[in-house]
Chain A
Amino acid sequence: MEERLISGILQRVNLTALLISSISRNGDVGKVFQRLAQNRINVEFVNKISLQNGHASVLLCVDSKDLYSAVAVLEEIKNAAHELDIFPPARVAILSLFPHREHPIISGIITQTLSAAHIPLLAMASSLSSISCVIHEERLSEALGLLSKTFGLS
């Protein structure tokens, strides 16, 4: 019997994604994490990518109830003369597929499946045991159904 690539999908909702760019790699990223923690804002998903120009691009997902506090923190850091661009927040959901076992093909299938259905993949990240994708919350049911079918879970 063919082994299933994925054995389960976990979903998380009521999240908002915040994209920050043109931020200095260590100092200002650290300031963002510090001020969010001081304001008791939990960051459920973090993607930080260093860019060739010495800056970084960071995507954070916070609970939607913390959106206004999180934006206030980012604006405060920006207003303190730190260089960063903040893009409009997006209401999102996260689907985490278990286990990935470091197989690249799983990321390939995810990108292909969502792209074919014109579901924007806002972000993707690996963890110890899962690969998580961030999508607009209004496309959650559709994405979950498609990925479940593609990976033979339904």
Chain B
Amino acid sequence: MEHLNRFQVFDVLHHEHLAQVSLTLHDNTPLKDVFEQLEHRGIKIKFLVCHRAPVNIVYLTFCVERSNLKTTHNILTELLNPDTSVDIFPDVGMVGVHGPHFDEQPGIVDVMHSCLSSRGLKILAISTTVSTSFFTIPASDVVKAIDLLKDAFEIPQGKI
């Protein structure tokens, strides 16, 4: 990996022991009920991406602690239309970088994506907003991904 001119970031972040749920919904699905029930059961959402697609479809992917997967699945079964497409990855983790330059410097997501995918890591979902970029990947790849990201980015001690 080229070490010159690497992007500086505050830190490489990671979280293991997650489960990922992906839903394909009609855009009139009352998501508030799902989120309310998750809150009511004390389930935290560790990662969330959602967007509208044409023909009134909404794609929603989120991660919860793996220990909460069964309860989460029960909530979805109870509240969603039985025809809803539900895709579950029971063993995922997430890795990310947190840095100050995301609004200003092109290429940070490209560096993240290429350093992981070029080594054969399967990227399940991406969320990049404000100053954080998180990728979800199979849990078995998290340790390898952390090493790759620490090599691809510079993490100086102190202020950037």
Q: Do A and B come from one complex?
A: yes
Q: Please list the residues of chain A having a beta carbon within 8 angstroms of any beta carbon in chain B.
A: 10, 12, 19, 21, 25-27, 29-30, 33-34, 36-37, 39-52, 57, 59, 87, 94, 96, 101-109, 111-112, 115, 120-132, 134
**A124-B32 CB under 8 A given contacts A46-B128, A47-B127, A49-B61:** no
In the bound complex, how far is the Cα of B117 from the Cα of A27, in angstroms?
A: 8
- Chain A residues with CB under 8 Å of B38's CB are 104
CB distance from A39 to the nearest CB of B (A): 8
Contact yes or no, B22 A49, CB < 8 A: yes
CB distance from B110 to the nearest CB of A (A): 4
Contact yes or no, A41 B85, CB < 8 A: no
Is B80 among interface residues, defined by CB-CB distance under 8 A? no
Q: Please list the residues of chain B having a beta carbon within 8 angstroms of any beta carbon in chain A.
A: 13, 22, 24, 31-36, 38-39, 43-54, 59, 61, 85, 87, 96, 98, 102-107, 109-111, 113-114, 117, 122-134
Choose among A37, A59, A94, A132 the residue that contacts B107 (Cβ–Cβ < 8 A): A37
Sample of 17 A–B contacts (CB below 8 Å): A21-B54, A26-B117, A29-B113, A30-B113, A44-B103, A45-B128, A46-B109, A46-B126, A47-B50, A50-B124, A51-B22, A57-B53, A104-B44, A124-B49, A125-B128, A128-B13, A130-B130
**A104-B43 CB under 8 A given contacts A25-B123, A26-B123, A131-B48:** yes
Contact yes or no, B31 A125, CB < 8 A: no
Choose among B33, B96, B105, B129 the residue that contacts A125 (Cβ–Cβ < 8 A): B129
Instruction: With CB as the reference atom, state the residue of chain B lying closest to A62.
Output: B106
Tell me how many residue pairs across A and B have CB atoms closer than 8 Å: 171
- Chain B residues with CB under 8 Å of A107's CB are 31, 35, 45, 48
Add 12 more A-B contacts to A19-B54, A43-B109, A51-B22 (CB < 8 A).
A37-B107, A44-B103, A46-B127, A48-B126, A49-B51, A50-B124, A104-B45, A107-B31, A108-B39, A122-B52, A128-B131, A134-B51
CB distance from B145 to the nearest CB of A (A): 14
Instruction: With CB as the reference atom, state the residue of chain A lying closest to B23.
Output: A49
Contact yes or no, A42 B13, CB < 8 A: no
In the bound complex, how far is the Cα of B34 from the Cα of A14, in angstroms?
A: 32
In the bound complex, how far is the Cα of B125 from the Cα of A126, in angstroms?
A: 12
Contact yes or no, B51 A126, CB < 8 A: no
**A19-B130 CB under 8 A given contacts A33-B110, A103-B39:** no
Contact yes or no, B87 A52, CB < 8 A: yes
Contact yes or no, A49 B59, CB < 8 A: yes
- Chain A residues with CB under 8 Å of B130's CB are 10, 96, 127, 129-130, 132
Contact yes or no, A30 B114, CB < 8 A: yes
- Chain B residues with CB under 8 Å of A52's CB are 22, 24, 85, 87
Contact yes or no, B39 A104, CB < 8 A: yes
Instruction: With CB as the reference atom, state the residue of chain A lying closest to B41.
Output: A104
CB distance from B6 to the nearest CB of A (A): 14
- Chain B residues with CB under 8 Å of A30's CB are 110, 113-114, 117
